[in-house]
């Protein structure tokens, strides 16, 4: 929530309108309302609870440094957290406490229970939720835990009836977790459109880079926050 303020969100919408001007009669060149992950926070939370109840997720209390140590390397398998064997009841109780704001940031995270020996590091019990005591531009102070992108991405796609989710090549190694999430959650009935329509697929492509032009969101934000430009509407942007 701290990375994307209202000004940033609105600037994206204005850019989309500008790129497609003249192609649509409607002022908004998209169908229906703008889709935002925050609109699905309640369902994403329910999905996390469902994974805990099915034994596919657990609350981990390792420190960030310990998690890096337990994760392993590209050539060495990871180690299972000592908290991996917590009971379903304890995990549910801790997760509810996380949502209620009972714990400080970094105290606990919710992780998927997959395979710490997987050759794909992204499948070594990835984090699903973390504590973040920050307001969100859409939901205000309703939440103090937020889902990770890799967890919310396939859920949002399924809820919106997306069939092919296009990503750049760096997300190729994340696709197995995308598929795992959809497969585990489909039987719960929480992914309504995924039950009625084909399951969403993540498809990667090689992006086109433009020389001598800054395209990175991270670098563009630095230009704005550092005052190097007057704002997102600066002509140089």
Name which of 50, 36, 55 is nearest 190 in CA terms.
50
CA distance 228 to 237: 11
Apex 14 CA angle, 12 and 16, nearest 5 = 70
End-to-end CA distance of the chain: 23
> What does the longest C-alpha to C-alpha distance in the chain come to?
59
pTM over 0.75: yes
Contact (Cβ atoms closer than 8 angstroms) between residue 158 and residue 200 = yes
Q: CA dist 138 to 39, 127, 176, 218, Å?
A: 8, 23, 30, 21
- pLDDT 10s digit of each residue in the chain, 237 long? 666 677 778 888 888 888 888 777 777 777 788 889 999 999 999 999 999 999 999 999 999 999 999 999 999 999 999 999 999 999 999 999 999 999 999 999 999 999 999 999 999 999 999 999 999 888 989 999 999 999 999 999 999 989 999 999 999 999 999 999 999 999 999 997 655 667 899 999 998 888 888 878 888 889 999 999 998 888 888
């Amino acid at each position: 929530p701290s990375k994307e303020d209202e000004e940033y969100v609105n600037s994206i919408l204005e850019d989309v309108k500008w790129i497609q001007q003249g192609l649509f009669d409607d002022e908004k060149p998209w169908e229906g309302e703008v889709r935002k992950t925050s609109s699905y926070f309640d369902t994403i939370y329910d999905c996390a609870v469902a994974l805990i109840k099915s034994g596919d997720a657990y609350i981990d209390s390792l420190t960030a440094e310990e998690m890096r140590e337990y994760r392993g390397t590209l050539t060495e398998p990871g180690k299972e957290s000592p908290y991996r064997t917590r009971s379903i009841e304890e995990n549910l109780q801790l997760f509810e406490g996380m949502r209620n704001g009972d714990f400080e940031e970094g105290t606990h995270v919710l992780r998927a229970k997959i395979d710490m020996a997987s050759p794909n590091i992204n499948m070594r019990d990835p984090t699903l939720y973390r504590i973040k005591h920050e307001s969100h531009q859409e939901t205000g102070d309703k939440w103090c835990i937020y889902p990770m992108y890799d967890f919310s991405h396939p859920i949002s796609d399924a809820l919106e009836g997306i069939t092919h989710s296009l990503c750049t090549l760096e997300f190729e190694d994340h696709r197995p977790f995308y598929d795992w999430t959809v497969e585990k959650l489909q039987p719960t009935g929480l992914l309504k459109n995924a039950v009625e329509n084909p399951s969403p697929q993540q498809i990667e492509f090689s992006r086109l880079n433009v020389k001598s032009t800054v395209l990175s969101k991270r670098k563009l934000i630095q230009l704005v926050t550092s005052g190097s430009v007057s704002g997102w509407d600066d002509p140089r942007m």
